[in-house]
């Protein structure tokens, strides 16, 4: 993205609104657990499974903990997992795809076969094994999710690298006798990173969903810490007795996903130079 694009990006009203809302949500997630009157892990014996009230804005869960504080901390954890997992997947996917696409030939064949093979292994299995092997902790979850979601990244980067390989400046670099490694690191990677970052904004929502799925299986974060996925999985079991336990975390997740998808889509269009949206 060049400088002009950067301003153009914020031009449409809906983007300004989206960015504003996103900042608001982030603000609430980061500061919410501190501003709320209650700690996310304190038990209120007199208010177990209580509906929303002035005291507990989002009600409480069945262990008597303030749901507002828990939703906010859950949002923070989910977002953190998403960002870190995306980073991990980039650290593997970008070099993998760049090398594969740039070198081509047999190397490319082998590297892409590995990616195909990994697509076929259910990632749940990998996550389960990683989690049981190394015990359950939140960092492992980032790594596990990142380790299975780099496949898409490597595909996209490889495609870009194939195109770049034929680009004049890469050809001239090669003519100058630069070593292959340096060409990849200096010329290929920097040029694919743009479209990869755009992909990242689309990937973060899908990682949040993956995390919620893993938590649904009971393999997610440990109590008393929580995540949106854990809250939603619990809430969905209580939908009849305590619908607010599902409504608020789901609301936050949906809002987060919506805002990020809108931004990601906008970014993607800017970078790939696809048609202008005229909303």
Partner 1 sequence: MNRTFITLVATLAVAIGVSLDAAPEHDTLNIGNSAEPGTLDPHRYFANAEEHILKDLFVGLTTMSADGEIQPGVAESWTVSDDGLQWRFALNQSASWSDGQPLTSEDFVFGLRRHQDPKTASPLAHFLYCVKNAEAINHGNLPPHELGIVAQDRHTLVIELEQPFPFLLERLLYPIAYPIPKHAVDKYGDAWVKAENWVSNGAYVLNEWRPREYVELRRNEQFLYADDTAISKVRYYPFQEPSTAYNRFVSGDMDIIQGYPHALVRKVSQERPNEVRNAPLQSMMYLVINTRIMPFDDVRVREALATAIYRERITNQILGVGELPSATLSPPIVAGHRSVGPNHEPSTSRAKALLAEAGFNNDQPLDVTLRYISSEENKRVYIAIAAMWKDAGINVTLHHTNLATHFSDLQNGDFQVAQAGWFGENNPEHYIELLWSKIGPANYGRYESQRFDALFEKARETADLQTRLAELAEAEEVALQEFPVIPLYVTMTLNLVKPHVGGWKTNGRNLHPVRFMNWIGSP
Partner 2 sequence: MVTTIWIVITITFFLLRVAPGGPFDSERAVSAAVEQNLLIAYNLDDPLLQQYGNYLWGLLHGDLGPSYKQKDFSVAELLFHGLPISLLIGGVALSIAVSTGLLLGATMARHRNQKLDAALEGFVTCGLALPPLIAAPLLVFLFSIVLGWLPAGGLESPLHLVLPVISLCVPYIAAFARLSRSSCLEALNQPFATTAQAKGVGNWRLLWHHVLPSALVPVLSFVGPAAATLLAGSMVVEVFFSIPGIGHYFVQGALDRDYTLVLGAVLVYTTSILILNFLVDLLFLRIDPRIQLH
Residues that bind partner 1 (CB under 8 A): 42-43, 45, 48-49, 62-65, 132, 136, 218, 222-224, 234, 236-242
Closest residue by Cα to residue 256 from 22, 67, 27: 22
249 Cβ contact list (under 8 Å, min separation 6): 71, 74, 228, 231, 232, 235
> Residue 265 binds which one of partner 1, partner 2, none, with CB within 5 to 8 A depending on kind?
partner 2
Per CB under 8 A, 54 contacts partner 2? no
Please give the torsion angle defined by the CA atoms of residues 101, 103, 104 and 107, in that order, rounded to the nearest 10 degrees.
Answer: -110
Per CB under 8 A, 18 contacts partner 2: no
| Residue 108, contacted partner among partner 1, partner 2, none, CB below 5-8 A by kind | none
Binding flag, residue 13, partner 2 (CB under 8 A): no
Burial 214-228 (b: 16+ CB within 10 A, else e): bbeeebbbeeeebbb
The answer to whether 196 and 157 have CB atoms below 8 angstroms apart is: yes
Q: Say whether residue 17 binds partner 2 (CB under 8 A).
A: no
Q: For the chain, how long is the longest CA-to-CA vector? A: 76
Pattern of binders to partner 2 over 168-207, x per CB under 8 A? -------------------------------------x--
Contacts with partner 2, 228-247, as mask; x by CB under 8 A: -x--xx--x--xx--x--x-
Residue 261 C-beta: closest distance to partner 2, Å: 5
Question: Does residue 128 belong to the site contacting partner 2 (CB under 8 A)?
Answer: yes
Residue selected from 1, 125, 163, 171 as contacting partner 2 according to rule CB under 8 A: 125
Q: 66: which strand partners?
A: 60
Q: For partner 2, which is the closer residue by CB, 42 or 217? A: 217
Q: Is the peptide bond before 224 cis (omega within 30 degrees of 0)?
A: yes
Q: Is 77 left (phi over 0), alpha (psi -120 to 50) or beta?
A: alpha
Smallest distance, Å, CB 99 to partner 2?
20
Residue 115 contacts which entry, partner 1, partner 2, none (Cβ below 5-8 A, type-dependent)? none
Residue 55: both structure tokens together: 């005291």
From the list partner 1, partner 2, none, partner contacted by residue 224 (C-beta under 5 to 8 A by kind): partner 1
How many CB atoms lie under 10 A from the CB of residue 66?
27
- Residue 101 binds which entry of partner 1, partner 2, none, with Cβ cut-offs from 5 to 8 Å by kind? none
Question: For the range 260-263, what are the long-range contacts, defined as Cβ-Cβ under 8 Å and sequence gap of 24 or more?
Answer: 260/22, 260/201, 260/204, 260/205, 261/202, 261/205, 262/14, 262/15, 262/18, 263/15, 263/18, 263/19, 263/22, 263/201
122 binds, among partner 1, partner 2, none (CB under 5 to 8 A by kind): partner 2
Number of residues that make up the chain: 279
For the record, the structure tokens of 222 come out as 């440990």
Which of residues 7, 106, 120, 181 is near partner 2 by CB under 8 A? 120
Q: Where on the chain is the footprint of partner 2 (CB under 8 A)? A: 113, 116-117, 119-126, 128-129, 132-133, 152, 205, 209-210, 212-213, 216-217, 229, 232-233, 236, 239-240, 243, 246, 250, 253-254, 257-258, 261-262, 265, 274-279
């Amino acid at each position: 993205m060049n400088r002009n694009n950067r301003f153009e990006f914020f031009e449409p009203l809906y983007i300004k609104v989206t960015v504003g809302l996103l900042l608001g949500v982030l603000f609430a997630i980061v500061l919410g657990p501190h501003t709320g009157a209650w700690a996310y892990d304190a038990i209120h014996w007199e208010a177990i499974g209580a509906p929303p009230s002035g005291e507990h804005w989002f009600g409480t869960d069945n262990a008597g903990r303030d749901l507002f504080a828990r939703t906010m901390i859950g949002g923070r954890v989910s977002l953190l997992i998403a960002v870190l997992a995306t980073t991990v997947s980039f650290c593997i996917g970008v070099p993998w795809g760049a090398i594969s696409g740039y070198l081509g030939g047999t190397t490319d064949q082998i590297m892409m076969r590995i990616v195909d093979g990994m697509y076929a292994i259910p990632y749940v299995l990998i996550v389960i094994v990683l989690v049981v092997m190394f015990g359950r902790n939140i960092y492992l979850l980032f790594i596990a999710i990142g380790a299975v979601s780099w496949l898409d990244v490597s595909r996209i980067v490889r495609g870009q690298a194939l195109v770049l390989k034929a680009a004049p400046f890469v050809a001239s670099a090669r003519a100058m006798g630069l070593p292959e490694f340096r060409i990849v690191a200096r010329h290929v990677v920097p040029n694919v990173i743009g479209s990869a970052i755009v992909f990242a904004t689309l990937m973060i929502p899908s990682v949040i969903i993956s995390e919620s799925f893993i938590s649904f299986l009971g393999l997610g974060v440990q109590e008393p810490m929580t995540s949106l996925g854990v809250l939603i999985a619990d809430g969905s079991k209580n939908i009849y007795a305590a619908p607010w336990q599902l409504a608020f975390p789901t609301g936050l997740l949906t809002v987060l996903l919506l805002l990020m998808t809108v931004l990601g889509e906008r970014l993607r269009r800017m970078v790939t130079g696809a048609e202008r949206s005229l909303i």
